[in-house]
Amino acid sequence: MLSQERSTLPCLYVHTGESTPLGHYGQELMKNMKEHHSQQYWLYNFDGSLMTRLHQREQEIMELKFRLTEELLRENPRPVTTDFHAIARHMDGIAQQVEGCLEYELKKAI
């Protein structure tokens, strides 16, 4: 026989306001916020601004990545060669430098 005094948990729905899924950097930002800035994460989550903020910050990081890549390519132009491996190594080195710079940006709170 079940007791008449049942306790129920509230049903919470978090409206994101965004239908676009997060990209790689947005997911990294969210993971970092959950782990290192959980109070801020839950505050933004409950007021409904989390996804908007994550998308905005992700866009800023993508723009920074583009600017850094262009700057590094101006300083270190792609080698003039038909050797695909040399070009790939050069571009991989540029990408690694850019990703190293972006690591700091991904760890900052939004």
Query: Does some domain include residue 8?
Result: no
- Predicted local distance difference test score (pLDDT) of residue 82: 92
Distance CA 90, CA 68 (A): 15
Residue 95's domain comprises 24-107
Q: At what angle do helices 84-107 and 24-36 cross, to 10 degrees?
A: 30
Query: Does some domain include residue 86?
Result: yes
- Predicted local distance difference test score (pLDDT) of residue 109: 82
Query: Does some domain include residue 41?
Result: yes
Each of the 110 residues of the chain gets a pLDDT tens digit; together they read: 455 555 555 555 555 555 689 999 999 999 999 999 999 999 999 999 999 999 999 999 999 999 999 999 999 999 999 999 999 999 999 999 999 999 999 998 88
Query: Does some domain include residue 76?
Result: yes
Query: Does some domain include residue 81?
Result: yes
- Predicted local distance difference test score (pLDDT) of residue 39: 94
